[in-house]
Amino acid sequence: MDTDADRIPDHPDIRAVTLQQVLEALVDPVRRSIVTQLSDAHADVKCGGFDLPVSKSTATHHFRILREAGLIRQYYVGTSRMNALRRNEFDDVFPGLLNVVVAADNTSLTHG
């Protein structure tokens, strides 16, 4: 039986995530775009709700990398997989990193 518990992926304790893992997640422009769009949305966003230049299966891969790096939490609402930024938990372990990356990414989008 496909219960909700089966469908919700595992999420790491962010204290077990290394800076190496976080930087490897954030160095990819598509993954950084997901984080920036989530941050700018000020709300959780379903997987299909992002503006991304990649296929659905590639996007799924990027969401998984972000989830394993502790940056996003995924859960289901009906058949939609939702994504939430784990901002507070993340800021506790890597203070300021998320804000800096999102701010710099938004600046680079604006100014080229």
C-beta of 62 vs 105, nearer to its own copies? 105
Is residue 27 part of the contact set for its own copies (CB under 8 A)? yes
54 lies in the binding site for its own copies (CB under 8 A)? no
Question: What are the structure tokens assigned to 108, written together?
Answer: 């680079």
17: closest CA among 82, 60, 67?
A: 67
**Per rule CB under 8 A, count of chain residues that contact its own copies:** 22
Q: Of 7, 18, 61, 64, which one interacts with its own copies (CB under 8 A)? A: 18
CA 41 to mean position of chain CA atoms: 12
By the rule CB under 8 A, 34 interacts with its own copies: no
Q: Tell me which residue has tokens 């997901």.
A: 34
The residue among 83, 65, 66 whose CA lies nearest residue 74 is 83
Complex with its own copies: residue 48 or 95, whichever CB lies closer: 95
Taking the C-alpha atoms of residue 82 and residue 79, their distance in angstroms, rounded to an integer, is 9
Q: Which residues bind to its own copies, rule: CB under 8 A?
A: 18-20, 22-24, 26-27, 29, 32, 94-97, 99-101, 103-105, 107-108
